[in-house]
């Protein structure tokens, strides 16, 4: 069972399962291919986009474990 954490970078998260990309794009993270975004943690990216990192993490992990 795959699991994502807030301290993982966007690049690491997408390497777990690239199908997570639409979830991130749906919440406004449209620059997933940008080199800078690949090195940001999920928590940092959420903060930059004004999102609750815990809710986003919950949504991603629910998708992975569905």
Residue holding tokens 């069972």?
A: 1
Q: How does DSSP classify residue 4?
A: -
Interatomic CA distance for residues 24 and 12, integer angstroms:
13
- Which residues on adjacent β-strands are paired with residue 41? 9
At 28 the pLDDT is 92
Nearest-CA neighbor of 45 among 31, 59, 26, 60?
31
Q: What pLDDT digit, counting tens, does each position of 6-52 carry?
A: 999 999 999 999 999 999 999 999 888 888 888 999 999 999 999 99
Token pair for 25: 């794009």
At 36 the pLDDT is 83
At 1 the pLDDT is 66
């Amino acid at each position: 069972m795959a699991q994502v954490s807030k301290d993982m970078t966007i690049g690491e998260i997408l390497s777990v399962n690239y199908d997570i990309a639409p979830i991130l794009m749906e919440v406004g993270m449209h620059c997933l291919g940008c080199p800078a975004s690949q090195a940001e943690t999920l928590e940092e990216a959420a903060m930059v986009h004004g999102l609750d990192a815990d809710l986003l993490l919950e949504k991603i992990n629910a998708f992975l474990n569905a």
